[in-house]
Amino acid sequence: MKKLLLIKKDLTLIIGFFLGIILLYLFLPKNKISFNDLAYEEYTKRVMGYVNGERVHCNDLDDIYLCVESYKKNGSGNPVILWFGNSQLHSINSYTQGDETASSLLHMALRKKGYYLITFSQPNANLQEHYLLFSYLLNQFPVKNLILSTVYDDMREDEIRTSINKTLEDAYVLNEVDKTTIGKNLIINYKKKYLINNDTIAREETNHDYWENLINKKLEKIWPLWSERDLLRGHLFYNLYLLRNTILGIDATTIRKKILGPYIKNMTAYKEILNLAEKKKIGILVYIQPIRNDMKIPYDLNEYNLFKKEIATISEISGAYFSNLENIVPNEFWGQTASINLKNYKDLDFMHFQAEGHQLLSKNILYEFNKINK
């Protein structure tokens, strides 16, 4: 009887172990998921700016080589205008064949004036990321101007994505950003994140690290699920996000409050972008990004107004040109988005407009740009 009980105990652990493994396989998504593109689904399409088949619009360091090649081929020698923004610049709501983004349209318009526009946009891009990217691109292109989109929603963001953090592997960027407090902070966080985000990376060259890397690599070969763990983590967090939104009744119209920590960091990064531009004698056009205005916007209005005021004041002090473009896209040119919770209904899209919106944005930016480059 005693032996029988022991066997039962053994089985508990073994059965539990195998149940856990089965659970992992059941949870593993069938297809690779791009977590950046989850918000798009059927309503919005990701469209990168092309002109005559050449890329003039990139995301980050992962695809920058395409824009560099295009510039070398078509625009070499021309002064470069950089345009930074978030997913609004590379998304077209209710897309139809032939629709173009503002980046393509503005590129064509500026080419006629002898400028070469290159756009960089990332979903939920924050100003700290723009600061790193700007520092990096200064050493890649002969930059004349920077067009900078400022988004209240993205002031809540604080994560620096890996494809932007890579800029800190560049000695020029490292040296440049190390001169500022926010830059120093970004370097420290980069070093920390580099270790955390690499499941199998060596910390230092110790025996332990050597063996850990070796065993991890062997395990990945023997058991493919081991290398899919980042996907499982992402999938788990995404589902928790949907669950949280469902339980707390969060949707696209829910008011997003200012988060002081990221807000201060992003505002500091914004000042450093302007300082760097001033130092390098680069003209800047700062604008408040268009937002849907047929509904109550999902911001605390007092906080939003203060944000706009602060952006304008800082740009004025630094000699940058400021323009508020929040209302340039009429209501009919906006659309819908997939739900951000488990309830299966559509949500209003406050961020991405239709092709007509892109035309208007391009036209307005050109108008403002002409003012600073008379």
Partner 1 sequence: MYFNSLTYLLFLFLFTLLYWQSNLQVRIILIFTSSLLFYGFSGLEFLWILLFSITFNWFLAKYLINLNKSYRFFLLLISLTFNIGLLFYFKYLIFFINNMVIFSNFLGIKVDPFFLNIILPLGISFYTFQIISYVLDVYRGTIKPENNFILFGCYVIFFPQLVAGPILRSSEIIPQFLKKTKFSYDHIIVGLTRILYGLFLKVFLADNIAPLVDYGYAIPANTLSAIDVWTLAFLFGFQIYFDFSAYSHIAVGSARVIGIYIPENFNFPYMATSPKEFWKRWHISLSSWVRDYIYLFLTRLKVFNKSTGGFVIKFNQIQFFPLFITWGIMGLWHGANWTFLVWGIYHFLFICINRLIAPLTRNLNTIIAWWGGLIFTIPAMMLAWVPFRAQSVSDVVIMWFKIFDLKSYTQLSMRENTYLVTFMIFCGFFITYFLKKKIFNQFKTKLFSEKIFNCFLISFIIFFVIIFFRSNNQFIYFQF
Interface residues with partner 1 (CB under 8 A) are 6, 8-13, 15-24, 27, 156, 158, 185, 192, 195-196, 198-199, 201, 203, 206-208, 211-212, 215-216, 219, 225, 229, 232-233, 236, 244, 257, 259-262, 264
Q: Which is nearer to partner 1, 1 or 171 (CB)?
A: 1
- Minimum Å distance from CB 323 to partner 1? 30
Q: Which is nearer to partner 1, 33 or 215 (CB)?
A: 215
- Minimum Å distance from CB 259 to partner 1? 6
- Minimum Å distance from CB 20 to partner 1? 3
Q: Which is nearer to partner 1, 214 or 317 (CB)?
A: 214
Q: Which is nearer to partner 1, 107 or 271 (CB)?
A: 271
Q: Which is nearer to partner 1, 210 or 367 (CB)?
A: 210
Q: Which is nearer to partner 1, 201 or 317 (CB)?
A: 201
Q: How many other C-beta atoms are found inside a 10 Å radius of the C-beta of residue 67?
A: 25
- Cα–Cα distance between 295 and 233 in angstroms, integer? 35
- Minimum Å distance from CB 195 to partner 1? 5
Q: In three state form, how does the secondary structure of 147-204 look?
A: EEEECCHHHHCCCCCHHHHHHHHCHHHHHHHCCCHHHHHHHHHHHHHHHHCCCCCCCC
- CB contact at 8 A, 154 and 266: yes
- Minimum Å distance from CB 254 to partner 1? 10
Task: Indicate the residue type of 2.
Answer: K
- Cα–Cα distance between 341 and 252 in angstroms, integer? 9
- Cα–Cα distance between 339 and 349 in angstroms, integer? 10
Q: Which is nearer to partner 1, 201 or 295 (CB)?
A: 201
Pairing of strands 143-150, 80-85: parallel
- Minimum Å distance from CB 336 to partner 1? 25
Q: What is the CA radius of gyration of the chain?
A: 24
- Minimum Å distance from CB 266 to partner 1? 13
Nearest CA to 304 out of 156, 152, 155 is that of 152
- Cα–Cα distance between 333 and 359 in angstroms, integer? 11
Q: Which is nearer to partner 1, 99 or 220 (CB)?
A: 220
Task: Indicate the residue type of 52.
Answer: N
- Cα–Cα distance between 236 and 94 in angstroms, integer? 30
- Cα–Cα distance between 121 and 350 in angstroms, integer? 17
Measured CA to CA in angstroms, residue 351 lies from 57, 117, 150 at distances of 19, 23, 13
- Minimum Å distance from CB 72 to partner 1? 39
- Minimum Å distance from CB 33 to partner 1? 15
Where does the chain show beta strands of DSSP type E?
44-46, 50-51, 54-55, 57-58, 80-85, 91-93, 116-121, 143-150, 283-288, 321-324, 334-337, 347-353
Q: Which is nearer to partner 1, 79 or 234 (CB)?
A: 234
